[in-house]
Structure 1
Amino acid sequence: MDQLSIKCIAVFCGSRMGNNSLYLNHTIQLGEWMASNNITLVYGGGSVGIMGAIADTLMKGGGNVIGVIPELLKNVEQGHKHITDLRIVPDMHVRKRMMYDLCDAAIILPGGNGTMDELFEMVTWNSLKIHSKKIILLNTAGYYDHLLAHINHSQEQGFLHENWRERIIVADTPEAIIGFFETDKS
């Protein structure tokens, strides 16, 4: 079997579990696949919510986990003490930049305002050619349907410079994400 070209994936997601158990199930499936394929996880550094669950899953599977957490969230998101590498940074801007710099691609799981911020900054940087990393949105149980409709509306109304589908890959299941990466081998 060929090696995957992706060695490190940033996962942006919620510091809460959400109300649908499928969010956690999909998170665990993705984490197990990453661990079994020796893909390093870069994430927000917390030990709570689905953010903590993906880190725990990789660690349980013998994976490598880099957490990046700003000083002000160290207690709120409960900085994970049992991961490979926890980096404490001064602020959110440094956190996001470090996560982008460390990863080969990004996966966006369900989450709140912080996750939206990370998604849109990643897409904006991609559009501006600051990076060309793959951005994959896991639309578990239609979680992002309304957001995708809004992005599509923005395009239809002439506010986007290009087709957003060239920047964001939408997948409904972890299997679809896995299939994408496994067909994108070098």
Structure 2
Amino acid sequence: MRKEWLLLKPDDEAVNRLVEFMGIDQFLARLLVTRGIDNEVEAMKFLNPDKTVLHDSFLLRDMPLAVRTIIETRERKESIVIFGDYDVDGVTSTALLYLAMKRMGFDVSYYIPLRLEEGYGLSKDAIKDLRDQGHSLLITVDCGVTSFDEITYAKEIGFNVVVTDHHEVKDVLPPADAIINPKRPD
């Protein structure tokens, strides 16, 4: 199946206005205009976000449960491992969560599979190795919402599991302790 790229052509006047008014690079201005951010006010809001415009993350299903699971793991002085995907959003998510949790004093490490050797997503071999290393909580980032067999296995060998993912969900969710995904129908 062949796919074709549809290249959007931003309005050059809007791009030039953003470059002149904001002193930003033309490439960034083109990206903003292509995303529909074509005036100075909206560009300033986008590039300098205010916490008051963010959504409440606790509106996501299972967020309170996930937070409680993570805090209880720290209170028991147990180790957490973040299992990230090897693509850009997986590596970025892994790094952000790892650094934030380290800063907050968690005993945390991370694992990113080797794409050519381990493939995409969770694997039973990696899960077993991580459990053997003494981790008790597995947090997935950018994967896990369709990993029914792997999460079932993780639970069987004693892991608590928190899934954070943004991929499409199936009819049945894996048996994780908490699943945070904005695409959950519930």
State the TM-score, normalized to the length of structure 2.
0.41
- Greater relative contact order (Cα 8 A, min sep 6): structure 1 or 2? 1
TM-score (norm 1): 0.41
Larger radius of gyration, structure 1 or 2?
A: 2
